[in-house]
Amino acid sequence: MIKALTARLRQGFRTLDFPAAGLELPPRGLGLPRLRSAGLEKAAAACPYGAVAAGPDPGLDLGRCVFCGACARAAPEAVEFTRDYRLCASARDALVVTDKDHGRAGTLGADLRKLFGRSFRLRQVSAGGCAGCEADCNVLQTIGWDIGRFGVQFAASPRHADGLLVTGPVTRNMELALRKTYAALPSPKVVIACGACAISGGPYAGHGECPGIPADIAVDLYIPGCPPHPLTILDGLLRLLGRLD
């Protein structure tokens, strides 16, 4: 027992300090892109999923982007990925990055912040996902991240949850399960689309078997990425709850 306690003391504090000055994605991570109009046509042609648009309305749609970096390699003068993990948005059209400043995710209304600001439980539904987004949501519950210190936890039953976190492109086989889960959540409830697949279909966009999140289920937070980094997920959740400026 003494040896175990001594080893634990030697390990020290292992939970990530968040938020923290200078915190950014690891060197190989692709974060918030910077766009310039010159050469954007080459970047658009290189994007395999049509996330980059040139012409009269240029921009990069983070909701469709899988962060492969093909656009930046093809046209580094037009697209540069930073290591800024703050990518989330409260509206679908706010995910389109232009040469102007990118807006951050907004917070819930005052009434919902009063309900969920200190205790927020999520029911996660993998609606046909590859397990990438699911894995990065799971890692938030480990000692290195400890999302529970912010009052956010994942619930086993939708009846015990305040919000629904959707991953995957929502295949037709999972649409009914998603609807049943959404209906089981008590009102008021929050819906979060996590990952490119849940937001736009990702690599499966336009496929007849992947209709996406039904239009009658309103989404309150969009977390882009393929998969989103845990920093991005944590940042989005805390902004939603009004815990970050």
This prediction has a pTM of: 0.93
What's the pLDDT score for residue 7? 80
Reading the block at residue 190, the tokens are 């929050």
Residue 238, both tokens: 């805390």
Delineate the domains of the chain, giving CATH numbers in brackets: 110-240 (3.40.50.12280)
CA atoms within 13 A on the CB side of 85: 24
Assess contact for 47 and 197: CB atoms under 8 A. no
Burial 42-61 (b: 16+ CB within 10 A, else e): bbbebbebebbbbeeebbbb
Q: Of 97-111, 163-177, 227-241, give the lowest mean pLDDT range.
A: 97-111
Q: What's the pLDDT tens digit per position in 192-202? A: 999 999 999 99
pLDDT at 145: 95
On the question of pLDDT at 111 being above 80, the answer is yes
For a pLDDT cut of 70, what percent of the chain falls above it?
100
Note the pLDDT tens digit of each residue in 122-180: 999 999 999 999 999 999 999 999 999 999 999 999 999 999 999 999 999 999 999 99
> How large is the average pLDDT for residues 15-38?
93
The pLDDT of residue 99 is 81
Q: What is the pLDDT of residue 160?
A: 97
Q: What is the mean pLDDT of the chain?
A: 94
Residue 8 confidence (pLDDT) above 80: no
Check whether 9 has a pLDDT greater than 90: no
C-beta separation of 53 from 78 below 8 A: no
Reduced to 3 states, what is the DSSP secondary structure of residue 160? helix
pLDDT of residue 55: 85
Residue 32: pLDDT band (50, 70, 90) is: very high
Would you state the pLDDT for residue 39?
85
Look at residue 178 in the predicted model and tell me its pLDDT: 98
pLDDT at 25: 97
pLDDT for 12 equals 74
